[in-house]
């Protein structure tokens, strides 16, 4: 469902997306087009999303897609990040760049339930699953598929250790590790321009 439909209250939306502008080469989806995968709680026997945490895994309300899902059909990198809020997506998350390259970016973030438990001594930090790509995960269309010498990228038909299949990303469910091998002809093409950081309001 759309983010606006999941959170019709303007005040709550402001509490989640707590920024007015950001600096990045890869823009976010406009707020009216952002997708939110709401947890339906339909499967009682599903495998927990996070098995190795010492504390009880936080309950996810849903997954917020900051950038277009269709740009990432083959894999996303999944890691567990520490946030100081259960639901807020701060500006620094939208501005993250990996390895100093302007095209590495966060794609989606888990939004926790309002009563989710923190994990540190003061219960003020929260584990939240986060999905992202580096610049040389070039299928997102902001880099060429080829390396500088003209050969295909190392990840053209494979993926990094932390890769998961995007279609398996669901709230409170363990993702399927690995990548999808498929035709890339219909993907967004790199236009040859050097991606530059820009301020987006």
* Distances from the Cα of 195 to the Cα of 45, 91, 180, 191, 192, angstroms: 45, 20, 26, 10, 9
Q: Are 6 and 171 in contact (CB under 8 A)?
A: no
Cα–Cα distance, 72 to 163 (Å, whole number): 11
pLDDT tens, the chain, 201 aa long: 999 999 999 999 999 999 989 999 999 999 999 999 999 876 545 666 666 565 667 789 999 999 999 888 889 999 999 999 999 999 999 999 888 888 899 999 999 999 888 877 667 789 999 999 988 786 777 776 555 555 656 566 678 889 999 999 999 999 999 988 877 667 777 777 778 889 997
Q: Are 122 and 116 in contact (CB under 8 A)?
A: no
* Distances from the Cα of 57 to the Cα of 51, 124, 127, 171, angstroms: 8, 15, 8, 12
Tokens of 28: 């976010």
Domain ranges within the chain, ordered by starting residue: 3-181
């Amino acid at each position: 469902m759309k983010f606006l439909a999941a959170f019709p209250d303007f005040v709550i939306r402001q509490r989640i997306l707590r920024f007015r502008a950001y600096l990045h080469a890869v823009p976010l989806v406009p707020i009216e087009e952002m997708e939110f995968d709401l947890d339906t709680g339909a499967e009682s026997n599903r495998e927990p999303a996070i098995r190795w945490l010492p504390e009880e895994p936080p309950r996810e309300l849903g997954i917020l897609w900051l950038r277009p899902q269709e740009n990432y059909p083959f894999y996303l990198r999944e890691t567990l990040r520490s946030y100081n809020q259960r639901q807020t997506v701060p500006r620094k998350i939208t501005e993250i760049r990996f390895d100093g390259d302007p095209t590495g970016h966060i794609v989606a973030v888990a939004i926790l339930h309002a009563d989710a438990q923190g994990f540190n001594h003061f219960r003020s930090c929260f584990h939240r699953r986060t999905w992202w790509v580096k610049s040389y995960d070039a299928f997102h269309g902001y880099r060429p598929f080829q390396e500088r010498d003209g050969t295909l990228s190392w990840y053209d038909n494979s993926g990094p250790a932390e890769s998961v299949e995007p279609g398996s990303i669901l709230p409170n469910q363990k993702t399927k590790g690995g990548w999808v091998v498929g035709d890339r002809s219909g993907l967004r093409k790199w236009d040859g321009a050097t991606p530059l950081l820009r301020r987006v309001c």
